[in-house]
Amino acid sequence: MEHRFDREAGGFIVRTAETKERVSVKLVDTNDDVSTRALRIHNPNDIVALAEKVQQAHDFVQAKAINRLSVIAEQMKFLRSQAERVLRDAERDDDLHRVACNFKKVPGSTYYLYRKNNGNRFFSMISPQEWGASRTNEYIGAFRLEADRSWTCEDDFEKRAAEDELLKAVISKKQQFIAIAD
């Protein structure tokens, strides 16, 4: 390990053995009230050890910052995927609200989406099973209109119901906590 005193910098310059990085260690300014004997370095390795501690502290701070930033980066990736999902769902919901429908849509009801031979889509209250063999239109899928006017695909009915039950339980617990606090 190389070290030297730099008068202009007012401290020691130490080059670490592992990284060959230069670390500057400033010494406390002297004043006339302090004995010059107290300022002498008895062991030249003391300043080297101090420089190593400064370097270790620097490395620790860098590692801590990198760890925190990596957590934030992961959260940003998650939020981005959530935002993309919200936009996809909004686009799908908007598209489904534009589909031809000859009846009033009621939240909580399931509607069946079909495509005619000419390519036009329409909603029906009649399921493919109810149509039976007389069905001439292509069946696309079943969708449930939710209270917030979003649509849930039949593949997600159970998942959505489980999420709704969980949220209702959370709301119920919150109301219980509020009642206890009052």
DSSP assignment string, 100-134: B-SS---TT-EEEEEE-TTS-EEEESS-HHHHGGG
SS3 91: helix
Q: pLDDT value at position 82?
A: 97
The residues near 144 (Cβ < 8 Å, ≥ 6 apart) are 108, 109, 110, 111, 151, 152, 154, 157, 160
Regarding whether 124 and 54 lie in a shared domain, the answer is no
Q: Is residue 178 very low, low, confident or very high in pLDDT (cuts 50, 70, 90)?
A: low
Q: pLDDT value at position 96?
A: 97
What tokens were used for 145? 């209109």
pLDDT digits (tens, 9 = 90+) for 113-162: 999 999 999 999 999 999 888 889 999 999 999 999 999 999 999 998 88
In the predicted structure, residue 30 carries a pLDDT above the cut 60? no
Residues 141, 133: Cα–Cα separation, whole Å: 17
Q: Which domain holds residue 33?
A: 2-72
In the predicted structure, residue 163 carries a pLDDT above the cut 60? yes
Q: Strand 11-15 and strand 2-6: pairing?
A: antiparallel
Residues 144, 46: Cα–Cα separation, whole Å: 75
Percent of the chain beyond pLDDT 90?
Answer: 52
Amino acid at 1: M
Regarding whether 118 and 58 lie in a shared domain, the answer is no
Regarding whether 173 and 107 lie in a shared domain, the answer is yes
pLDDT digits (tens, 9 = 90+) for 61-120: 999 999 999 999 999 999 999 999 999 999 999 999 999 999 999 999 999 999 999 999
Regarding whether 130 and 63 lie in a shared domain, the answer is no
Q: Residue 137's Cα: distance from chain center in Å?
A: 43
Is residue 162 a part of any domain in this protein? Answer: yes
The answer to whether residues 116 and 137 touch, using CB atoms and an 8 Å cutoff, is yes
What tokens were used for 7? 């008068």
Regarding whether 135 and 65 lie in a shared domain, the answer is no
Is residue 82 a part of any domain in this protein? Answer: no
For the chain, what is the domain count?
2
What tokens were used for 158? 């159970």
The sheet carrying 151-153 orders its strands as: 121-124, 110-115, 138-145, 151-153
